[in-house]
Amino acid sequence: MISRLRRLFRRPTPAPLSSPVPWVDDAVWAVWSRRQAESTTSPIWEPRLREVSADDRLRAAKGAQSGIFCPRGTLEQHEQLLRSTPPVADGMLRPYWPVCCEALATLINAEGAGHTLADIEAAAGPLDGSHLEADLTEDWTPNSPQHLAEVVQAGYREEIALMRRDGGLGDGFNVFQCRRCGRVYIASCET
Ligand SMILES: [Zn+2]
């Protein structure tokens, strides 16, 4: 009887919404769209698109290719795509957004929302080398070329170790995967 009543009064759980665009993964979209959108613009504010460097590609963790490919194009076209992302409740501010294989990489974890770090690393390997040179070195003057090399070599290793310990991505960090080659990148955004 009680279970029948429960069934009668249980509110249906809304099905998680799938992402309307291939540059945001379903797992991120499901979290972003839990609440009603108040904004009428793209949830991705002032993205900093950066083509990954040859070194970034070499260092990056690599998982399997999957999902709908993002279209190839110029940085301007990619920026237009990000701008065309439908409004949703959550979003991100000034993210570094990797462009790999001439296409937008797909956002798979936005500051903790999306696939877990543990799942991502289980599938693609450790993200210790998955940072973008541009993210680490822009707006910054190194003391020496050696200093610069050390910073790029270190990447986000320390931060990632803390994330593993704490069980999630910290504020200000996002993870992307190129659906064309499977490479995974970690990059910062403003909080
Ligand atoms: Zn790629």
pLDDT digits (tens, 9 = 90+) for 105-119: 999 999 999 999 999
User: Could you tell me the distance, in angstroms and rounded to a whole number, from the CA of residue 7 to the centre of ligand 1?
Assistant: 47
Which of 4-8, 60-64, 68-72, 171-175 has the weakest average pLDDT? 4-8
Q: What is the reported pLDDT for 7? A: 59
User: Could you tell me the distance, in angstroms and rounded to a whole number, from the CA of residue 182 to the centre of ligand 1?
Assistant: 6
DSSP string computed for 2-41: HHHHHHHHPPPPPPPPPPSSTTB-HHHHHHHTSS-----S
Query: How many alpha carbons fall within 13 Å on the CB side of residue 119?
Result: 10
User: Could you tell me the distance, in angstroms and rounded to a whole number, from the CA of residue 2 to the centre of ligand 1?
Assistant: 54
Region 56-85: mean pLDDT is 96
Per-residue confidence band for 10, with pLDDT thresholds at 50, 70 and 90: low
Question: Is there a contact between 191 and 169 (Cβ–Cβ < 8 Å)?
Answer: no
User: Could you tell me the distance, in angstroms and rounded to a whole number, from the CA of residue 16 to the centre of ligand 1?
Assistant: 28
Q: What is the reported pLDDT for 119? A: 96
Q: What is the reported pLDDT for 41? A: 92
In whole angstroms, what is the distance from residue 83 CA to residue 160 CA?
29
User: Could you tell me the distance, in angstroms and rounded to a whole number, from the CA of residue 31 to the centre of ligand 1?
Assistant: 25
Residue 169 has pLDDT above 70, yes or no: yes
User: Could you tell me the distance, in angstroms and rounded to a whole number, from the CA of residue 143 to the centre of ligand 1?
Assistant: 32
Neighbouring residues of 54: CB distance < 8 A, sequence distance ≥ 6: none
Write the DSSP symbol of residue 98: E
User: Could you tell me the distance, in angstroms and rounded to a whole number, from the CA of residue 39 to the centre of ligand 1?
Assistant: 31
Predicted model pTM = 0.90
Region 20-32: mean pLDDT is 96
User: Could you tell me the distance, in angstroms and rounded to a whole number, from the CA of residue 97 to the centre of ligand 1?
Assistant: 13
Which of 152-156, 177-181, 184-188 has the weakest average pLDDT? 152-156
Cα 88 to Cα 106, 107, 169: the distances in Å are 17, 15, 21
